[in-house]
């Protein structure tokens, strides 16, 4: 185990040296810093110190240039990404519309760690964007040594997966019925977080991007007919 850790540290340091990182990039990609960043991810809640340490060592440094796609909508996914430095935009498939953004300490793509599912959005680097990628095979190898945590994480991932599938089905149903409104996860995130939209929710003004994204995942799409009761007082 010590030999494996030493090899992983050596490989990570080699990649960091070859990438010619600036001072900020150097700081945010230190193993100790990465370990603390991982603790903020809801999916990994309950992890032990050793789990987070192993996870930090398994991350792969990926640097994307301005306007370079990090992931592309509808393409198969098998990893998640953490933004260490820079900003990444959530854009439409044609790249013309920006729905939202991911700043340092944000993450995306976590459902792909457990399920075969196509990417639900295109994420593009706005400027030079330093990210850390976690592949599903690396996570599985680590979780093999943390069985209790593996069960908890799988249950959480399954919940997120079902929410994603239900949303996709609801959106497709509305679109097939001729509804032209936008109800994708990214559209919902934009409504919850952007002050310049007509549907802006003031309650979430100071909420972090990770909180907004989690909140959006738990929303469901419903359409009510004219005069139909949405909710009743006292219920």
For residue 60, what are its two tokens? 């792969």
> Residue 175 has what pLDDT?
74
- 110 DSSP assignment: G
3-state SS track over 17-32: HHCCCCHHHHHHCCHH
Backbone angles phi, psi at 66, to 5 degrees: -50, 130
Percent of the chain with pLDDT over 70: 85
> Once rounded to an integer, what is the mean pLDDT over residues 62-68?
94
Q: How confident is the model at residue 196 (pLDDT cuts 50, 70, 90)?
A: very low
What average pLDDT score do residues 194-205 get?
63
Instruction: Tell me the average pLDDT across 120-136.
Output: 91
Three-state DSSP class for 140? Answer: helix
SS3 138: helix
CA distances from 231 to 38, 102, 202, 222 (A): 39, 34, 21, 13
Q: Is residue 114 within 8 Å of 158, Cβ to Cβ?
A: yes
> What's the predicted TM-score (pTM) here?
0.69
Would you tell me the crossing angle of helices 49-58 and 31-38 to the nearest 10 degrees?
A: 120
Per-residue confidence band for 179, with pLDDT thresholds at 50, 70 and 90? low
């Amino acid at each position: 185990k010590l030999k494996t850790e030493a090899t992983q540290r050596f490989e990570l340091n080699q990649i960091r040296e070859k990438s010619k990182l600036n001072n900020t990039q150097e700081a945010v990609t230190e193993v100790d810093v990465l370990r603390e960043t991982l603790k903020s991810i809801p999916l990994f809640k309950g992890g032990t110190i050793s789990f987070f340490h192993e996870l930090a060592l398994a991350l792969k440094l990926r640097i994307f240039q301005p306007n370079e796609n990090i992931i592309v909508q509808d393409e198969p996914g098998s990893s998640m990404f953490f933004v260490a430095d820079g900003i990444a935009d959530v854009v439409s498939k044609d790249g013309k519309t920006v729905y939202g953004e991911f700043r340092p300490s944000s993450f995306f793509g976590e459902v792909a760690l457990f399920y075969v599912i196509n990417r639900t959005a295109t994420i593009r680097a706005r400027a030079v964007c330093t990210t850390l990628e976690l592949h599903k095979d690396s996570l599985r190898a680590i979780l093999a040594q943390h069985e209790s945590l593996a069960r908890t994480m799988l249950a959480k991932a399954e919940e997120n997966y079902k929410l994603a599938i239900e949303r996709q089905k609801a959106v497709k149903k509305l679109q097939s019925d001729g509804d032209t409104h936008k109800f994708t996860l990214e559209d919902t995130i934009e409504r919850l977080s952007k002050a310049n939209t007509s549907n802006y929710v003031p309650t979430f003004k100071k909420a972090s991007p990770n909180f907004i994204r989690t909140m959006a995942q738990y929303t469901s799409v419903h359409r009510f007919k004219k005069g139909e009761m949405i909710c009743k007082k006292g219920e």
